[in-house]
Amino acid sequence: MKISPATKVGILTLISLVILTLGIMWLKGRAISAGERTEVRFHDVDGMRPGSAVQMMGIRIGQVEEVLPVIKDDESYVTVKFVITEDDITIPQASTISIQQSGIIGEKFLEITPPQVQTALLPINHHIKTIINEKTPVELLVGNEYIPVGEIKNAEIVNIKTLTPIQQENIVTTYAYKIGYIVTKPGVIIPEDSIASLKTLSASNPNNKYVLRLTPPKDIIAQISANGKYTIVEPIRLKKFFDVQLESAIALQETNDKINSLLSEESIDDLKTILKNTKHLSKEATSTLSLATELLRSSKTEIDNISTLAQDLSGKMVVLADNINNIVGDPEVKNSLLSTTKSIQKSASSISEMLEDPTLKETLALVNNSAQDLSEITSYINNITQDQELKGKLDSTLVNLNDSLSKLSVTLDNVNSLNTEEKDNLKEILNDSSEISENLKLFSNKLNKRFLLFRLLF
């Protein structure tokens, strides 16, 4: 059976169409031209397909060739292979590769972002007085240790007035270091609001005097994903994004409810009272500080005098200490102190022996008894003197005695003023008076005897 030429042409055309279709399907998503091919891993590609564009800073430079899932027991991931079709374009190390979307419902594409210069601000203090050199190491706190992640590209001293208000909040000095650094270690993402500080290196490193250290904010732990020579940023699905936004909205609503509950009328009144009291307290504190300042100003002379006296006293104490040291260091003084110590020791031994003498013990006992008797007599006299009636009688007796002595003194003065003849007459009178008193005494005794006999008779 012969095949007509038309049939042959039809069969050949059909085979050509099949081959063309299969070739197109096989070449779909593949670059025909030669270029740099790269393979990266994602845990989620968010619907990206082979043939998707590869962009760098918004410019298309290649396309995705393959998207292959890899399922393993311990780890599952998606391998994305892409090719760079543009000439003279090389992906820098530590570049960030992420999956983006053009618009809300646009196509997915692979975005490559070369390492960007990031800025760190550092207050200038008296410990740091030199400009930081370029290529100074940059370290990031990961876990409990600092790991090198990059290097400094530039550093300059700026006035904080040139910074944004948000940047000025964390700087308390007039000037600050504005440090530009770049991350060169793949898999590193510097957390926002990381705290920068300079660490002085040892003198053994002459090239770099310092190292810039970045510490993540509190409750944030920096992590490094060591996967190739690029930094992979996983995509965020729209649902997850909305879930996060919903959680944020719920948390914000709860915060608003708590704030509204706190801002009741009673709370507002309490706040007003607190503000008034605070204002009054601040006024009193200001007046107190003014008085204290005035007191210090008025007492400046006295304070200066006290300071001068204290300095003089300290100088004299130093001189005294030197003199004491000289005295202690003198050999003669040491010998004298040793001899004095020995004499005191001998005296103590002698006194101890004397105290052990029985005669001395008896004498001390007698002295003790005498002291007790004297104490009792003193107590008795004190009791007598406390008797008001006896005290009055003693006072009157002493007054009468003083009067008698005064009169006697006057009489003696009169007697002394007499002449010799009058004194002789006075002596005779006194003698006669003495004889008369003796006679009267004898007469009285006789009368007493007679009256006694008379009583006995009757």
DSSP 334-377: HHHHHHHHHHHHHHHHHHHHHHT-HHHHHHHHHHHHHHHHHHHH
The winner for highest mean pLDDT among 3-7, 84-88, 266-270, 329-333 is 84-88
Mean pLDDT of the chain: 79
Mean pLDDT, to the nearest integer, of 124-131? 62
Confidence label for 387 from pLDDT (cuts 50, 70 and 90): low
With CA atoms as reference, report the closest residue to 430 among 415, 443, 445.
Answer: 415
With CA atoms as reference, report the closest residue to 185 among 221, 220, 138, 133.
Answer: 138
d(CA 276, CA 2) in angstroms, rounded, equals 115
Mean pLDDT, to the nearest integer, of 393-418? 71
Tokens 């003698």, residue located: 431
**Same domain as 107, residue 125:** no
Kindly tell me if the per-residue pLDDT of 244 is higher than 90: no
Instruction: Give a yes or no: residue 91 inside a domain.
Output: yes
Number of neighbouring beta carbons within 10 Å of residue 456: 7
* Better pLDDT: 437 or 165: 165
Q: What is the pLDDT of residue 325?
A: 72
Q: Are 230 and 94 spatial neighbours (Cβ–Cβ below 8 Å)?
A: yes
**Same domain as 256, residue 205:** no
Give the global pTM. 0.47
Structure tokens at 101: 């979307």
Instruction: Give a yes or no: residue 425 inside a domain.
Output: no
**Same domain as 204, residue 123:** yes
Query: What separation in angstroms does the CA of 268 have from each of 255, 274, 276, 278?
Result: 18, 10, 12, 15
- The strand pairing partners of 155, in sequence order, are 179
Instruction: Give a yes or no: residue 190 inside a domain.
Output: yes
Cα 144 to its chain centre, rounded Å, is 25
Give residue-wise pLDDT tens across range 306-315.
888 888 888 8
Secondary structure (3-state) at 300: helix
Secondary structure (3-state) at 209: coil
Kindly tell me if the per-residue pLDDT of 340 is higher than 80: no
Kindly tell me if the per-residue pLDDT of 386 is higher than 70: no
* Better pLDDT: 368 or 109: 109
Q: Which of 72-86, 112-126, 409-423 has the lowest mean pLDDT?
A: 409-423
Instruction: Give a yes or no: residue 295 inside a domain.
Output: yes
pLDDT above 70 as % of the chain:
79
HSE toward the beta carbon, residue 262, CA cutoff 13 A: 7
Number of neighbouring beta carbons within 10 Å of residue 439: 10
Give residue-wise pLDDT tens across range 84-120.
988 888 889 889 999 998 877 788 999 999 999 999 8
Structural domain of 302: 284-356
Q: Are 196 and 122 spatial neighbours (Cβ–Cβ below 8 Å)?
A: yes
Confidence label for 418 from pLDDT (cuts 50, 70 and 90): low
**Same domain as 221, residue 243:** no
**Same domain as 130, residue 220:** yes
**Same domain as 49, residue 93:** yes
Mean pLDDT, to the nearest integer, of 185-193? 87
Alpha helices in 207-330 (DSSP H): 238-262, 265-298, 300-329
**Same domain as 155, residue 62:** no
* CATH classification of the domain holding 74: 2.40.30
Structure tokens at 443: 């007469």
Residue at a domain's end among 356, 379, 402: 356
pLDDT above 90 as % of the chain:
12
Tokens 């400009």, residue located: 131
Mean pLDDT, to the nearest integer, of 254-282? 80
Q: What is the pLDDT of residue 206?
A: 58
Q: What is the pLDDT of residue 87?
A: 84
d(CA 180, CA 118) in angstroms, rounded, equals 5
DSSP 141-170: EETTEEEEEEEEEEEEEEEGGGS-HHHHHT
- What is the torsional sign of CA 289, 290, 295, 296? positive
- When divided into structural domains, the chain yields a total of 5
Q: What is the pLDDT of residue 54?
A: 93
Mean pLDDT, to the nearest integer, of 280-302? 83
**Same domain as 297, residue 261:** no
Query: What separation in angstroms does the CA of 234 have from each of 99, 141, 189, 212?
Result: 7, 22, 12, 28
Instruction: Give a yes or no: residue 325 inside a domain.
Output: yes
Q: Which of 251-260, 323-332, 365-374 has the lowest mean pLDDT?
A: 323-332
**Same domain as 214, residue 313:** no
Give residue-wise pLDDT tens across range 7-58.
777 888 888 888 888 777 665 555 455 567 889 999 888 888 898 999 998 8
Instruction: Give a yes or no: residue 277 inside a domain.
Output: no
Structure tokens at 192: 């926002």
Q: Are 183 and 117 spatial neighbours (Cβ–Cβ below 8 Å)?
A: no
**Same domain as 338, residue 303:** yes
Residue at a domain's end among 113, 136, 152: 113
Kindly tell me if the per-residue pLDDT of 122 is higher than 90: no
**Same domain as 291, residue 256:** no
Mention every residue, 6+ apart, whose C-beta is less than 8 A from residue 402. none
Structure tokens at 116: 């960007």
Main-chain dihedrals φ then ψ at residue 173, nearest 5 degrees: -100, 170
Q: What is the pLDDT of residue 113?
A: 92
Instruction: Give a yes or no: residue 329 inside a domain.
Output: yes
Instruction: Give a yes or no: residue 217 inside a domain.
Output: yes
How many residues does this entry show for the chain?
458
Secondary structure (3-state) at 212: strand
**Same domain as 174, residue 81:** no
Q: What is the largest CA-CA distance in the chain?
A: 220
Q: What is the pLDDT of residue 181?
A: 93
Q: Which of 183-187, 318-322, 409-413 has the lowest mean pLDDT?
A: 409-413
Q: Are 112 and 52 spatial neighbours (Cβ–Cβ below 8 Å)?
A: no
Cα 426 to its chain centre, rounded Å, is 106
Tokens 């040491």, residue located: 334
Query: Reading across the β-sheet that carries 231-233, which strands appear in turn?
Result: 36-42, 77-84, 59-70, 53-56, 108-113, 96-101, 231-233
Q: What is the pLDDT of residue 373?
A: 74
Written as one letter, the residue type at 112 is: I
Mean pLDDT, to the nearest integer, of 57-75? 89
Q: What is the pLDDT of residue 129?
A: 54
Q: What is the pLDDT of residue 117?
A: 92
